[in-house]
Structure 1
Amino acid sequence: MRKRSIKNTRVNMEVQRELSNIIRGGIKDPRVAPWTSVVAAEVAPDLKTCKVYISVLGDEHAQSETVKGLKSAEGYIRRELAHNLNMRNTPELTFVLDQSIEYGVQMSKKIEEVTGNDSE
């Protein structure tokens, strides 16, 4: 399966949807912040590994604790993913903190500052 194939794109979407449902409703770890969202999931073409990009609303401490909590619950998440999705292989999950939303907000503020200074 190629990396940009339609099948791989559909698998990525399904894995992302199921992971967000599992994280939202199934994890009882207090380290995982309640405002954790799955931004993207990239499943390798051989379906063995998956990079899960997550976004956490909160400070850096909450973000690092959420990543630690998700890594410790990886076995449970994989088991639930295998139960909900009918795949030959359940991919190993790697959680990556996605800072793109924060970066976009910071850039928007900087653009507003610059345009505000120009209008004055």
Structure 2
Amino acid sequence: MPKRKVRVDELLRREISTLLHTDYQSEGVYTTISEVDVSPDLRQAQVYYSVLGGEQREKEAQRFFRVKASEIRFKVGKRVVLKYLPFFTFVRDDSLKRGFGLIEKLDDLDEKP
């Protein structure tokens, strides 16, 4: 993987996370930006987020990102200087749930004789 792509991924992840926790404190308090995956041409970015709380908080976060995606992109563009600022697509990251499910299954196997 090219080093530039990795650096851009991490830079955008950090900036979006900072923006959520400074400008959108009430909405961003339960949200964590876990990963950003920028396309090779730097025109599109998948922003993966996870939400603490129940299903209601996940729906609120999904609605928030759908409404505020262009505003977040605009504000990140003011902070980050890139030739092309990618368009953000926010995707819920289920890796934590899958990880906990896998750990529970392994624990169940451990407990059985």
Give TM-score scaled by structure 2 length. 0.91
Q: Which residue of 1 aligns with 2:36?
A: 41
Aligned residues: 113
Does 2:22 align with 1:25? yes
Distance, in Å, in 2 between the alignment partners of 1:41 and 1:49 is 10
Equivalent residues in 2 for 1:10-89, closer than 5 Å: 10-27=7-24, 32=27, 34-89=29-84
Distance, in Å, in 2 between the alignment partners of 1:71 and 1:24 is 18
Distance, in Å, in 2 between the alignment partners of 1:14 and 1:33 is 18
Residue 89 (structure 1) shift:
1.6
- Partner of 1:73, secondary structure, is helix
Q: Percent identity?
A: 25
**Paired letter, 1:92:** F
User: Can you list the C-alpha shifts for 1:57-81, whole angstroms capped at 9, x where unaligned?
Assistant: 1112211220110121112211111
Q: Which structure 1 residue ranges, 4+ long, deviate > 3 Å from structure 2?
A: none
Distance, in Å, in 2 between the alignment partners of 1:117 and 1:17 is 43
- Any gaps of 5 or more consecutive residues in structure 2? none
RMSD over aligned CA atoms reads: 1.4
Residue 51 (structure 1) shift:
0.3
